[in-house]
A and B are shown apart, each in its own frame.
Chain A
């Protein structure tokens, strides 16, 4: 159960106003080509504001691109659909429903399941993220990490072909984040879902990704794809391996050169203004 995602020549433009209030075009993405293989855990990393989230919004169908095409499983994306699950950075749970109820909410959208089937399916997925005991808790009674696990369980519950994750662990503390990363790898191996994961954290990208796409800023382009696919053997501290350090450095240098380019650009601009 997984689909290929193909982005060809994708361009995205937003209408904005400059400081003087004049309307302008803001080019968020420019001629972006990307193929995510079926069943792959692909991580997209880039500086903030580079258009990472825009890419996910386009794949999810929440927004339409200004140009180019987006295909999921060979089908052109025109609107959101249940073949694609989405996990947001803010845990978007319905506060008036329990953990269990929030998963059932997604299952109600799929249709074709009886109340009992929904309840059982929700149980199964709560178990998958280790929250069986917290089924009857309301979101305000859960910690950030638990809420995000419920959100992940909810997105997986309707068994989408593709799971899109937009900096899902950005707001969590380091330890919780590490545990959830492990958990995500385990879930990914069990379900075989195609996952596109967005982060600005290089360690997270290298740890999770089979391949890591590095994006550059303004306009957002795909700069390079790094093959990582670390061996996550049992109890292996992947982060302390030389391999991890090498990949980490590689991604870091790619991002760094972009930053330097941006820096020298602003400096040049300032010099220009002084002159």
Chain B
């Protein structure tokens, strides 16, 4: 049997002139959604099953890896006591603040770097230096200068999110089709209008790639930062639970972190899809 990708990409469909002649619009072949969903569910159930059974039959030590059911019990307990909500809220507020702050700074700066040679030439060397410095390596610096409160955590998330968004904005803005720029100039559009109506929409798909990478980075870096110096947050709780042999709650917190990352990523993908419906 031929691989599905080959079949789908070469499937028969009326070409654009045939569509024109018949006055119809081709519909892309839609695979059954339910089937896709069901198959995905099978994968998850398989993983859950292994996690549940392996400790029970002694494949792994059930003290260090408790069965999934115990982890879920611990998770439910954390939900009921409200402790989980407290940590989740702390983490979400920090990562969201840092994430949005990074976007607000990086997109205009990236646009300026791409548009003005002088800005680019001055800023590229220092930015290259910072870009190649790991965010977590700078954590001590952030803590020393900004204290162990919220500021240092938000700052490190901003730092981690800043570069993916910046670099993608620069590449998106510099690679806008020159023909589109010519047609904007022929219409006598001002630079600001050109940016708003032509350059930004054209660069948006590339910028969004950066935003998605930043979304993942926001959660990852924050968890690590919270493990080192914090009094609340998921990273703090994972570390705390480990130190106190609260093994099942520790896994519960880790699962929550994964769910948070997953939620952020899916949210951004959905938003991106909404914004780029015009693409083939």
Contacts and interface: CB of A to CB of B under 8 A. Distances in A.
Contacts of A95: 202, 278-279
Interface string A79-104: 11110111010101011110000000
Interface stretch (A31-39, A69-77, A135-143, A200-208): A135-143
Interface residues of B, number: 24
B201 interface: yes
A94 B185 contact: no
A193 interface: no
A62 B187 CA distance: 10
Interface stretch (B1-9, B17-25, B133-141, B230-238): B17-25
B187 A142 contact: no
B34 to A, nearest CB: 28
Interface in B7-45: 16-17, 20, 23, 25
Contacts of A188: none
Contacts, number: 62
Contact of A60 (B20, B186, B276): B186
Interface in A42-65: 60, 62
Given A62-B182, A94-B201, A141-B25, A80 B187 contact: yes
B75 to A, nearest CB: 43
Interface string B170-197: 0000000101101101111100010001
B188 A92 contact: no
A140 B279 contact: yes
A143 B201 CA distance: 23
A106 interface: yes
A133 interface: yes
B215 to A, nearest CB: 22
B186 A105 contact: no
A140 B193 CA distance: 24
A212 interface: no
A109 interface: yes
A146 interface: yes
Contact of A86 (B17, B23, B25, B186): B186
A86 B188 contact: no
Given A140-B279, A143-B20, A88 B185 contact: no
Contacts of B16: 141-143, 146
A90 B183 CA distance: 11
Q: Is the interface of A mostly helix, strand, loop or mixed?
A: loop
A138 B278 contact: yes
Given A88-B179, A94-B201, A109 B187 contact: yes
Contacts of B189: 109
Interface in A187-236: none
Nearest to A154: B183
A74 B198 CA distance: 32
A141 B20 CA distance: 10
Given A81-B188, A82-B187, A138-B278, A96 B201 contact: yes
Interface in A105-147: 105-106, 108-109, 133-134, 137-138, 140-143, 146
A128 to B, nearest CB: 17
B9 to A, nearest CB: 16
A84 B183 CA distance: 12
Contacts of A134: 20
27 contacts: A62-B182, A79-B188, A80-B185, A80-B187, A81-B188, A82-B188, A84-B186, A86-B182, A88-B182, A92-B177, A92-B180, A92-B183, A94-B202, A96-B201, A96-B276, A96-B278, A96-B279, A97-B278, A105-B187, A108-B197, A109-B187, A109-B189, A138-B278, A140-B280, A141-B16, A142-B16, A143-B16
